[in-house]
Amino acid sequence: MRPIIKVEGLSKQYQIGSHEAAYLTLRESLMQVFKPGRRRAAKEFIWALRDFSFEATPGDVIGVIGRNGAGKSTLLKILSRITEPTEGRVELYGRVGSLLEVGTGFHPELTGRENIFLNGAILGMRRAEILRKFDEIVAFAEVEKFIDTPVKRYSSGMYLRLAFAVAAFLESEILLVDEVLAVGDANFQKKCLGKMRDVSASGRTVLFVSHNMAAVEGLCNRCLFISEGKLGGDGTPHDLVTRYLAAETAPEHATRDLREHPGRRGGMKPVLTNVSLAAQSGGAASAIRMGEGLSIEVEFDSGPQRMWPSISLCVKNNYVPVFTASTRVQKQYQLEEAISAGTIRCDLRDLPLLEGTYSIDIFFGDQYHNIDVIYDAISFEVLPVDVFASGQVPHATEGTIFWPATFEVSEKRSSASEQTRTAHAR
């Protein structure tokens, strides 16, 4: 199958660090040249993209991920013909609809109706084609009452809804969507993601730039990972998201010295010396994905005093305890002999925590007494993931944990048959 997008050796260079007045008089120019001790600042350049190549086939839904400044938006701007590449070439075999920034392609003085027809004309669509889609666009954007109002008077939400509807419903073979969806509310984002699924099911190609890893995994069948302007990976969303998160979870924040921790309870002996975190998938990490496990390793040194160490770890969300893991109630983990220094590791497998920031209180001592207590000893992030592979992610406003419950749904038939249908969901 012939690719609908073909990118070869794409590079884009920008000049930075030079900002001068647009217009100078002859006198000002001469003064700058002959001014003692003044040197003209050397021009500095940066490569936003460097030797970037990939292909996309019709029906591909490609997530584009990477940290801020990696080159994601630059790639989409080149594909949208907003900016030209410094090197390389791009071949597009189809009409391109794009939503890169709120209002891109809209004329503020024109009404919503006029902008819909303007964008359709830019795509090369006939008036009759645009008319067939017009009612769907207006209904999706929910701007019926304001369709004949200049868009400069729209709220940001109205502007965004109409911009997305125009990009998604007008018949372009390629749809480019940047992180702009983050501006909308939760219902609008869900609505947009559903529409993009419909777009991809119709055989159109979608490039979707997002920091929402759950949306990328739930929507896309392929993923591009951009790192410092270069293609860091091209593969399945799960593999690339895992690699990206491993690079971005700030392992330097996954460990903390506890000897002078400000959260130590007054009067406690500073026995706890260090705490570190590791993801279930391996490696130090201060962030995990929903459904992933976490290992907590605590080091202690009680000096000459020997003891049978016990530990309790309280995981909190917004200062509210969520759960506690403790060797004081799981006595099979207590040592047979007393020791004075060592390490205790707690493995929390497959944590059902929703998206958010969590902190850990540490209570350390023997079986009956606390010797050292540190509040908010260390914190970690839980990142959203489509854990049920349903295309939807449980929202953090719905609680603190998600639960893989078992459901039974039955339909009661008419009294004549007294038959029921039962569906089991995992």
**Per-residue model confidence (pLDDT) at position 295:** 94
Considering the domain boundaries, does residue 81 fall inside one?
Answer: yes
At 85, is the pLDDT very low, low, confident or very high (cuts 50, 70, 90)? very high
* Most confident residue range from 174-188, 267-281, 386-400: 267-281
Residues 213 and 66 in one domain: yes
What CATH code is carried by the domain that includes residue 285?
Answer: 2.70.50.60
Give the pLDDT mean for 116-138: 86
Top-confidence residue, 124 or 158: 158
Query: Average pLDDT for residues 209-225, to the nearest whole number?
Result: 84
Query: Has residue 80 got a pLDDT over 90?
Result: no
- The answer as to whether 394 is a domain residue is no
52 within a domain of the structure (yes/no): yes
170 exposed, middle or buried (CB, 10 Å; 0-12, 13-18, 19+)? buried
Looking at the structure, tell me whether residues 106 and 162 fall in a common domain: yes
pLDDT higher for 75 or 26?
Answer: 75
Position 375 confidence tier, pLDDT thresholds 50, 70, 90: very high
In total, the chain counts a number of residues equal to 426
- Residue 392 in any domain: the answer is no
Single out the residue in 204, 219, 248 at which a domain terminates: 248
Q: What is the secondary structure of 207-273 as a DSSP string? A: EEE-S-HHHHHHH-SEEEEEETTEEEEEE-HHHHHHHHHHHHS-GGGSEEE-TT-TTBPTT----EE
Residue 228 pLDDT grade (very low, low, confident, very high; cuts 50, 70, 90): confident
Rounded to whole angstroms, the Cα distance separating 131 from 51 reads 42
List, for residues 379-426, the tens digit of each pLDDT value: 998 888 878 877 677 777 778 888 888 888 888 876 655 554 545 544
**CATH number for the domain including 134?**
3.40.50.300
- How many C-beta neighbours within 10 Å does residue 308 have? 14
Does the residue 209 lie in any domain? yes
On the question of pLDDT at 11 being above 90, the answer is yes
Look at residue 184 and tell me whether its pLDDT is greater than 70.
Answer: no
* pLDDT for residue 92: 93
Quick one: pLDDT at residue 20? 45
Does 122 lie in the same domain as 230? yes
Q: Is residue 359 located within the same domain as residue 371?
A: yes
The structural domain count of the chain equals 3
Mean pLDDT, the chain, integer: 83
Give the pLDDT confidence score for residue 364 in this predicted structure. Answer: 95
| DSSP secondary structure code for residue 331 in this structure | G
53 and 120 together in one domain: yes
Q: Are residues 256 and 376 in the same domain?
A: yes
> Within this chain, do residues 259 and 135 fall inside the same structural domain, yes or no?
no
Same domain, 123 and 67: yes
Query: What is the average per-residue pLDDT within 48-52?
Result: 93
* Domain assignment present for 188: yes
88 or 333: which carries more pLDDT confidence?
88
Contact 92, 101 (CB under 8 A): no
Please tell me which of 246-255, 282-291, 327-336, 369-378 the model is most confident about, judged by mean pLDDT: 369-378
CA-to-CA distance for 47 and 6, rounded, in angstroms? 21
Q: What is the mean pLDDT of residues 98-104?
A: 66
Q: How confident is the model at residue 67 (pLDDT cuts 50, 70, 90)?
A: confident
Backbone angles phi, psi at 34, to 5 degrees: -100, 5
What is the residue range of 272's domain? Answer: 251-383
- This prediction has a pTM of 0.61
Q: How confident is the model at residue 222 (pLDDT cuts 50, 70, 90)?
A: very high
Pairing of strands 294-301, 420-425: unpaired
194 with 291, same domain?
no
- Quick check: is 26 in a domain? yes
Q: What is the pLDDT of residue 341?
A: 93
Same-domain pairing of 171 and 102: yes
378 & 331 share domain = yes
Residue 389 counted as domain residue: no
3-state secondary structure of 318: coil
> Do 168 and 63 have their domain in common?
yes
